[in-house]
A and B are shown apart, each in its own frame.
Chain A
C-alpha cells in the first residue's frame, strides 16, 4: 500500500486541543511494528512468478506492489512468515533478523 498518510504521533499542546468526544485523528503508522520481528522475509525476485499471493495474505499490509513485483515494507512487517509459507515457488526465505 502507498503509505501516503502521516506516520507521526499526535501531540496535544493544551487541554483545549483535546476533542470533547474521543475520536480518532490519525492512523497508527507511527507504530513501526517492524521492531517486533525476529525473522525477516526476503524475496528472491528472480524466482518470483508475480502471482501476488504474498501480497494477498499479509495481515499487516506490509507488502506493496511496485513495478509489478512485491516489495516488503520492513518498517511494518512483523515477521509472521505467512508470505513465505504461502508463496507457491518458495522464493521467500525467512532469515534471522539482523539487530
Chain B
C-alpha cells in the first residue's frame, strides 16, 4: 500500500492529448472499436475538421437530430458518396477562402470496399484534397451483420450462415488504393492508438488524396466479448492478419510494427463467435492465406 504522500508525487504521463472532440452519451454498443477510432482520429485532427459520413454505424452512433456527440461538423451523405461529398465540400470551402479545414470522408468497410468504391476511385484518381478514412469492422453492421467484401474468409454473417460461411478472401483495398498512386495511405488499428495518432497527424499535413484504413473490432457483429476489443485489435497485428504499414505514391512501403514473433491465428479466431464453426482444415487454410499476404507485404517493404 502506498501512502498518500507517495501517491501525490507521481504525475500521470498520458500518451495522447487530453482534448476530446467526441463526448459521452453516444449510441455505440458496449466496447465498440469504431467509436475509439473516431476518438483517436479527432484528437489528431483537431477542431478545424469537417466530416462527411455516409450510411453506416457512425451515422447512428453520433445521435439523432438535433444532437451530435462530436464537436466538429458532420455532413450526413448518401451511402455511396463519402468521397465525392468530401471532394465537393473541400471545393466549396476553397471557394469561400477556407484552406485550413481538413475535410474527411469517414465511412465503414461496406461504404468503402463495396458501394463507395467508384466515388473513392474517382476522387483518388483526381487526387482531390481529402482525407478518406475507412473504419473496418468487416461487415455491414448497421443493418444487421451482412457480409461485405471486407469480411474475411470463413466468417459467419447473417448472409453467410454457418453452412455457407464466406468462402472468398477479404478484398485487398490497400492494394487498390496503392494502384491509384496517391501521396499517402496507411493502415492503422485501435489497438495501437499512438501509431494511429501519429499517422493521422502525418496524413493531415499532406495535400492530395490520403487514405487510412483503420481496423475496428465490433463485438456485436463478431460475437466477441466487449472487453476483448483492444486485445483482438492487438492480436490482429501480432499475427499479421492486419499489418500496420504506410504507402507513399503507391510505391514506398514502410512497415510500422513488425511483430517480434509472428503468432499463429488460432487464439485470435477462438475469441470470435463468427469463426467458431471452422474446422482445423479451414484454420490451416486461413493461416496459409495470412502467411502469403504477409510474405507479399514484406517483399514490397524490402523492395523499397
Contacts and interface: CB of A to CB of B under 8 A. Distances in A.
Interface stretch (B11-19, B97-105, B154-162): B11-19
Nearest to A36: B30
A1 B66 contact: no
Contacts of A75: 24
Interface string B62-80: 1101111101001000000
B13 A28 contact: no
B198 to A, nearest CB: 14
Contacts of A26: 66-68
A60 B66 contact: no
A76 B25 contact: yes
A79 B30 contact: yes
A1 B227 contact: no
Nearest to A75: B24
B5 interface: no
Contacts of B31: 59, 78, 80-82
Given A1-B20, A81-B226, A33 B25 contact: yes
A61 B20 contact: yes
Interface in B270-292: none
Identify whether the interface residues of B are mostly helix, strand, loop, or mixed.
Answer: loop
B39 interface: yes
A15 interface: no
Contacts of A68: 8, 10-12
B27 A31 contact: yes
Contact of A28 (B2, B26, B229): B26
Nearest to B9: A68
Contact of A59 (B7, B25, B36): B36
A33 B31 CA distance: 13
A59 B229 contact: yes
B63 A31 contact: yes
A56 B24 contact: no
B91 to A, nearest CB: 20
B248 to A, nearest CB: 28
B193 interface: yes
A80 B30 contact: yes
A26 B231 CA distance: 34
Contacts of A69: 7, 12
Nearest to A38: B30
A90 interface: no
Identify whether the interface residues of A are mostly helix, strand, loop, or mixed.
Answer: loop
The residue among B12, B15, B219 with the most chain A CB atoms within 10 A of its own CB is B12
A78 B30 contact: yes
A46 B1 contact: yes
B28 A59 contact: yes
B13 A31 contact: no
Given A56-B193, A57-B36, A60-B35, A29 B24 contact: yes
Nearest to B193: A56
Interface string B224-246: 01111111000000000000000
B62 to A, nearest CB: 8
Interface string A38-54: 00000001100011100
Contacts of B219: 80
A70 B33 CA distance: 21
Given A60-B24, A80-B229, A82-B229, A28 B69 contact: yes
Interface string A66-99: 0011000101101111101110000000100000
Contacts of B66: 10, 19, 22-26
11 contacts: A10-B66, A24-B63, A24-B67, A27-B67, A45-B7, A57-B193, A59-B35, A68-B10, A76-B24, A79-B30, A81-B31
